[in-house]
Amino acid sequence: MRILGIDPGFGRLGYGVIEIGTHHAHTVLTYGCFETEKTMRREERLHLISQKIKALCDEFQPSRLAIEELFFSKNQKTAMRVAEVRGALISCAGQNGIEVFEYSPGQIKNAAAGWGGADKKQVAAMLHVLMKIDKKIQHDDEYDAIAIGLTHLVYARS
């Protein structure tokens, strides 16, 4: 099974592709983060995000998309933009025949670190224990995306 984990964001989006092998050995095939320019129009930014995800899907052929549920913050404009990104991602998954699974922040922290109240440093440390991460991670969004993919692997087994 191959999972595309995504930490959705309008300005910056984290992604990670994880594969489960024999004896539940998890392999991180790729991960990264891409950003859209603030000077771009909204529709251009959403189109660029869709194109990037389509390219990842074409290259890695995931069977599942794991995405974080929308967390409503005090900033409604940010929440709306993230909701638009999620819609674009779910549409892209549908066009590529990929099943979509959503997980709450608590589920993600529990799956990655063993505790739903874990902080970002604890999650990142556990990801390095649970799987091989080759290159340096630049942004928390990358850790989050890998953790979201791992969450699906954990919940898919149960």
Distance CA 131, CA 111 (A): 13
pLDDT at 79 over 80: yes
Catalytically annotated residue among 37, 84, 141, 142? 141
Residue ranges of domains in the chain, CATH in brackets: 2-157 (3.30.420.10)
Distance CA 32, CA 12 (A): 10
Q: Model confidence over 40-74: pLDDT tens digits?
A: 999 999 999 999 999 999 999 999 999 999 876 66
Catalytically annotated residue among 37, 68, 119, 134? 68
68 is catalytic: yes
Name the range with the highest mean pLDDT among 9-23, 61-75, 93-107, 115-129: 93-107
Distance CA 147, CA 108 (A): 6
Q: Out of 34-43, 73-82, 90-99, 148-157, which region has the weakest mean confidence (pLDDT)?
A: 73-82
Q: Rounded to two decimals, what is the model's pTM?
A: 0.92
Are 137 and 14 contacting, i.e. CB atoms less than 8 angstroms apart? no
- Considering just the CA atoms, what is the radius of gyration of the chain in Å? 15
Distance CA 61, CA 135 (A): 22
- Mention every residue, 6+ apart, whose C-beta is less than 8 A from residue 118: 109, 110, 112, 126
3-state SS record for 3-27:
EEEEECCCCEEEEEEEEECHHHCEE
141 is catalytic: yes
Helix (H) or strand (E) holding 137: none
